[in-house]
Structure 1
Amino acid sequence: MSDTTARALQLLGLLQSRPVWSGTELAERLGVTTRSVRRDVDRLRELGYPVEAERGAAGGYRLGAGRALPPLLLDQDEAVAVAVCLRLAATGTVAGIGEAAVRTLGKLDQVLPARLRAQVSAVQDATLTLDSRGPQVDPDLLMILARAVRESVKIDVQYVDRSGVETDRRLEPYRLAATQHRWYLVGFDLGRDDWRTLRLDRMPDVHATTFRFAARPTPDLEDYVRRSITQSPYDVVATLEVAAAADVVRERIPPSVGTVTPLGPRRCKLVVGADSADVLAVHLMRLDLEFRVLDCPPLQEALRQYAERALRCAR
């Protein structure tokens, strides 16, 4: 790295460390003249960093907000702090954060020194996360799978289905998907010659191989995952005809629980799942919508029992 490049990076680090610097302060920190500082500022601007300059006693150089987010320079403590927060976000319960956290963590983990990576793991191991929904997923597992997806390498997976049967799978991983409750991997199962959606909390062991694969034609992965996770995790799945517009039902049913298909302006089909017919009956009644059960006798019986109980309580 040339002296000019190293000084520009040092200047960038100073600008990110506090709101405003005078030209004289920057020159003293960098050991150069104020003219050299101006040239280095111009270099940063050419690279896309929005460095602003103001004249006067209260003026100076500051790093402004640009249209695109420029790369950040992090010292060791800052890198550890960011990585720890990303790991917690990846396995936490904040809606919409998990997948972005894994992608960002993958980029950071690629350049994080082994010593700092060990510090991150130590903080993670010493942290107790409360009020989490669903099974927790090991951040290291997320990292292995995220790298395998990014690098298009095959993975070997031990997988335990909901019956407790353990199988060995070799997969081509294509996408990680997060819901409010669980993480999933969608990939092509080479042993079954078909697409599969697998829960990460049912993977006791995962190894990334060194064998790359060429991307094959994929289905609509978002739709495929939504349909898979609506039906496969639940013991009871029912099809309903709902007397409401599809958009109204979608506002009340999370995509991880049900799939909505329009049948008309004020009618739609809902495929919905739960761990038991009783639980499903309770949640459906809370929707405050008229519906007809098409194919699930256990749900029909649970609804009848709740209706009879409600009448007795009302009397």
Structure 2
Amino acid sequence: MRIDPTGRALQLLSLLQTHRFWPCAELATRLGVTERTVRRDLERLRELGYPVDSTSGKYGGYRLATGTHLPPLVLDDEEAVAVSIGLRYAAEAAISGMEETSLRALTKIEALLPHRLRRRVSALRSSVSSVPREVDGDFIHPEALSMFAAACRDQEHMRFDYRRRDGEISRRLVEPQKLVTVERRWYLVAWEGHRGDWRTFRLDRIQAPQKVGSHFPPRGIPGGDAADFVASSIGLTRRHHDAKLVIHATSAELEEVLRWADHTLIEVNADHCVVQVRSEDIGRLAMRVAEIALTAPVTVIEPVELDDTMRRLAAHLTAR
């Protein structure tokens, strides 16, 4: 099928926006044109303000550079749906001002979606509901979040006031290591030199954060994983196993059985749903899937070991 120059240029831009390095020959193959045509299309993109870097020689190619301004983005169907859904749930984040900003961006994007994509986004949104979590009314300022992220990256000391659970406030000087999210909470994993130990801080309880200006050498987080460290600190069991299932029932029919399952509804159809379910280990995951199977037929897409576990479970139950 022949693609007009404008459509081809948009396809080229979509490839470049992955920010990977593209050899000219590979771009030509992807677009079904000659390398000369690719170079001509790249020049057209440069004229439109897209900063395209190039290297010459046998192993030369092209990459979309970081520009000084934000040119129009090109999203394929799946990317557009993912961005729309992501913005919808970003509106529920415990970050000050995020709700209004996310909804404003979402309104702009959904207004541009073709009807077929708007229906997909609408179907998923109408079929998924969130249980509001009790929070104490404190929110994180985006500036503070960015400040801590930069301090983790640059290994720079930070000082702040921290409000403990009992309300007492103390001054802290720490070496920020990693930021971790748990549901709507943000946590900072840091080494506190004064106490000579690792600490977990809730960002919504931090006040007046500021960079000290001094830097620290890298340290290894206990266990090597910041998320595991936070989960252990707050008494949370991390769910290391997940499965993708096709459940042959409507979302309404599955509402009750999935109520207490740690799950994500991936796809909703008239007669089946695609769901991701998580649990602590493969055995508990198999029991959760078996519970769902009492309501409707289930097909395990992945992982393979869960399918094997389910077969063994069925065999044992049949034998008994």
Using structure 1 for the length normalisation, give the TM-score.
0.41
Higher Cα radius of gyration: 1
Using structure 2 for the length normalisation, give the TM-score.
0.40
